[in-house]
Structure 1
């Protein structure tokens, strides 16, 4: 058994998004073992976003922990709240924006390699 120290990094205008987001990598490359590209907690402050991007050779799942999100699913926008889960398949596009002006959007992100 191992206890892993979270590794937070700041990303500005990630995937063409707005502002600076925090990505807390919960597992490193060694633990992901090539099967996953990322397992992280993502924190998006008010008025910030991850831009719309396309996945190639992998899929990505978001699970909303807190806050309100405006999620772009291949050009279709939907509002998400805590407890919602999304799935972006290989070859599809998605993006996510904090819809609140006062509270952070916090979610888990999992990228699974094909």
Structure 2
């Protein structure tokens, strides 16, 4: 299977209070169903967080999540340790681990989120 999904054809979704986080997240959907990832994952989205918007702290069970920071910077909670992530950084949160991200800057930040099954 191969797939090319053009940016202009990707579904744009605005999600409020993701994982009980502040504000909203703007998401461009990369894959629309698990079978597009050979049933090994469920998300490949490009996300944008505007100032003071974020994804709340959550723990992964049965899957892991990768963030690839594309632009800007954000405050990242890695299992309770707060750090700054910026363009070019990659994070991984495995099963049983937790994370959160929030943009504290005036300019929007963007990141890819990829969720893979354990």
Deviations 1:19-46 (A, max 9, x none): 0111111111041232111001010011
2:42 is aligned, of 37, 42, 51, to 37
Q: Secondary structure at the match of 2:88?
A: coil
Aligned partners of 1:59, 1:3: CA distance in 2, in Å?
Answer: 24
Alignment correspondent of 1:13:
17
Give unpaired runs (5+ residues) of structure 2: none
Alignment correspondent of 2:26:
22
Runs (4 or more) in structure 1 with deviation over 3 Å come to none
Alignment correspondent of 1:97:
102
What displacement does 1:2 show? 4.0
CA root-mean-square deviation: 1.1
Aligned partners of 2:13, 2:57: CA distance in 1, in Å?
Answer: 20
Q: What TM-score, normalized to structure 1?
A: 0.93
Give unpaired runs (5+ residues) of structure 1: none
Q: What TM-score, normalized to structure 2?
A: 0.90
Aligned partners of 1:46, 1:113: CA distance in 2, in Å?
Answer: 31
Aligned partners of 1:17, 1:33: CA distance in 2, in Å?
Answer: 30
| Paired residue total | 113
Aligned partners of 1:103, 1:11: CA distance in 2, in Å?
Answer: 19
What displacement does 1:3 show? 3.1
